[in-house]
Structure 1
Amino acid sequence: MTPADLSLTVLHAVRRAVDDGALRVDVPPFVKVERARPGGAGEYASNIALTLARSAGRTALDVAGILEERLRGAPGLRGVEITGPGFLNFSLRRDAGGELVSAVLAAGSGYGSGTALAGTTVRFAAPAEPRAALVTETVVRLLRTQGAEAGFGGAGRIHVRPGAYEPEALGVDAARWALLRPAPQDRPLDGPPLLVQHERNPLFRVRYAYARVRRLLVNGEQLGFAPRYETPVDAPALLGALGDHPVVLLAAARHRAPDRVARHLEATADALLAFQHTVLPLGDEKPSAAHRSRLALAEAAGTVLAGGLSVLGISAPDRI
């Protein structure tokens, strides 16, 4: 179960509660689900009960209890717990990793796209300043991934600090990263360090992580096995990063913040690079279901990295 799936599951529980008269509220268009904070229960949490409590005329704990009843036994959920003033905390089934990997590979580069912003129309005035133009172009792409109708021709503007776009000196990929990785209100990154092939260079790490996935797939084929998720993989950081990808894309679109995608790609790359050493058999070890599952997870990570880079207009090379 992905965060997007979980969001829809909770939304359906709200709708059922309204339909059967347990709650008298307007059904929201979207339910926010995020990673559980340290000390919380489960993997994900939502404050939807607190959000609905006032309009429902009930306490948040009452609303949370109503929703918890309708979430019991939902596919992909191992448990739902109410904490604090009315937060819903979700534990996923142990085999949820297989569902996540399957969802990523089935969607391909479109993983993370959705319809949360369907019916929204956004028009931007064409900015004259190069960095503002680049950020706005990327925001338009992000909005479209979430179902919004976005483009140029209106009066809306995105305000960014000026920064030269220098593809002639840096190449397109480094030039775009230098302007999109910082938040729009922050200064652009210094360009020359982005050309250095070193782990201190975050752009290099992200693109290298993708290239490593491509190499792992080739090496797996040479060893006679293909990616197939058959058994649970103990890689919480990587699975968490993949599961968060749809939430990050939606948040980046809502807040007009491509830097959120870039930061998430860095986190995904770091998790993949820490995990990649476990993927292939070592020495005389024979390929097993564990290796096939790890390779499938690595392939899913590469899919997310390539898709995220594409949203930013940056290439994902097979070799680097």
Structure 2
Amino acid sequence: MTPADLSRTVLRAVRRAVDEDALRAPVPARVRVERTRPGGSGDYACAVALQLARPAALPALEVARILRERVASEPGVGRVEITGPGFLSFTLDAPAESDRAVLDAVREQGLDYGHGDALRDETLRFHHAREVRAAVTADVVRRLVIAQGARARVSCEEASDPDWARLGVTVDAHGTPPAPLTGIRPVPAGATAGELLERLGPDAARWGLLRPAGHDRAVLGPELLVQGEANPLFRVRYAHARARALTRGAALLGFTAEPAAYGDPTPYGEGPAPYGDPTPYGAGPVPRDGAARPLLDLIADHPGALLSAARHRAPDRVARQLEAVAHAFFGFHDSCPPLPAGDEKPSAAHRARLALAEAAGTVLAGGLSLLGIRAPEHL
């Protein structure tokens, strides 16, 4: 079960409670679940009971009890606890199955993994000044909200700079259209599109304009072209290229990725079980960690990161998410190589590791595409 699946499961529980007249409150448009903070209980937590307590005219603890009864029996949910004033804490059942579900979703949806319909009822209009950073930001904000089901148009105060097209920017209208409008006003870049294209090229220019938050100054120096770990753009694109290279290398060795291999007793690490723990997926005090865990969690959380970026009109959140995925990918790759070494034969462990590496590559490529940046197969 992915975080998006869990969110829908809780929302269904709310609807059931209302339909059964156990709860008299408006059904929210969505339910937000968040990964439990350090020291908390369970895998995910949700504050929907506190949200519904006042309209339902019930204590939050009572609302939480009503919802717990209806969520606890759902497939994929192992345990539901009530903590604090009425938070619901969820421990997911069969983590290995949950991990496979995430990888299957990435494989099935491809570059569209993380897209959804949360904004399907919204028609949005964005307006920006005749300035390159505002134009690129508005272009990506439009991509983000459309990826979440919204309809969107972008207008500019004046006629577009012809060089914007070389940056992949399109504008639907010029002048000041009638309200309502959402203004896109980041800190100006201090350079024109033509200057940036000449110095940096389209990909590095877009990353430099989008990576900082809109209220921060864009960093547009030669460091964006450095092919090294200190350059986040290079690191993200290199992680993608490396993931694709692993697939090619596996083909030469005669094997392919297999998400189902996550049920194998040794899918990641060396020794009798993944991470060296004899019961890494079972209940009990042993934490589910290791080099694969951060990467799996980031991939599972990717749809939520994209939706958050769309809702907050914040392309920089996508860039930071991609940097985190790339960092976790290299940690996993170095600790648990997906390709066998020397005379070693490919095993279920290698097929499982390759499935995770390929999923990371797909997430990176899809995120870069939303930012309007190419994801080369080779670097």
Cα deviations by residue, 1:258-286 (Å, 9 ceiling, x for unpaired): 00000000000111111113212233322
d(CA) in 1 for partners of 2:311 and 2:138? 13
**Which structure 2 residue ranges, 5 or more long, are not aligned?**
156-176, 269-291
The alignment status of 1:260 with 2:317, answered yes or no, reads yes
SS at match of 1:231: helix
Q: How big is the shift at 1:31? A: 0.7
Q: How big is the shift at 1:57? A: 1.1
Q: How big is the shift at 1:105? A: 0.8
Two-structure CA RMSD over aligned residues (Å): 1.3
Structure with higher Rg: it is 2
Q: Which residue, out of 124, 146, 149, partners 1:147?
A: 149
In the TM superposition, what are the counterparts of 1:73-92 in structure 2 within 5 Å? 73-92=73-92
SS at match of 1:183: coil
* Corresponding position of 2:64: 64
In the TM superposition, what are the counterparts of 1:35-114 in structure 2 within 5 Å? 35-92=35-92, 93-94=94-95, 95-114=97-116
In the TM superposition, what are the counterparts of 1:1-320 in structure 2 within 5 Å? 1-92=1-92, 93-94=94-95, 95-153=97-155, 154=177, 155-163=181-189, 164=191, 165=193, 166-232=196-262, 233=267, 235-277=292-334, 278=336, 279-320=338-379
Q: In the alignment, residue 114 of structure 2 is paired with which amino acid? A: G
Q: How big is the shift at 1:195? A: 0.6
d(CA) in 2 for partners of 1:198 and 1:126? 34
**Is the 1:178–1:189 contact (alpha carbons within 8 Å) kept by the matching residues of 2?**
yes
TM-score, length-scaled by structure 2: 0.82
d(CA) in 2 for partners of 1:181 and 1:87? 34
Cα deviations by residue, 1:60-79 (Å, 9 ceiling, x for unpaired): 22111111111113222222
SS at match of 1:89: strand
d(CA) in 2 for partners of 1:308 and 1:145? 11
Cα deviations by residue, 1:189-221 (Å, 9 ceiling, x for unpaired): 232111111111111110000001001101111
d(CA) in 2 for partners of 1:268 and 1:135? 22
d(CA) in 2 for partners of 1:150 and 1:76? 36
Q: How big is the shift at 1:225? A: 0.7
SS at match of 2:182: coil
d(CA) in 1 for partners of 2:126 and 2:70? 42
d(CA) in 1 for partners of 2:73 and 2:351? 30
Q: In the alignment, residue 364 of structure 2 is paired with which amino acid? A: L
d(CA) in 2 for partners of 1:281 and 1:215? 14
SS at match of 2:108: helix
Q: In the alignment, residue 182 of structure 2 is paired with which amino acid? A: G
**Is the 1:230–1:289 contact (alpha carbons within 8 Å) kept by the matching residues of 2?**
no
SS at match of 1:23: coil
**Which structure 1 residue ranges, 5 or more long, are not aligned?**
none
Cα deviations by residue, 1:27-80 (Å, 9 ceiling, x for unpaired): 111111122111112222211111111111112221111111111132222222
Residues 289-298 or 225-234, more deviating: 225-234
Residues 76-85 or 211-220, more deviating: 76-85
Q: How big is the shift at 1:126? A: 4.4
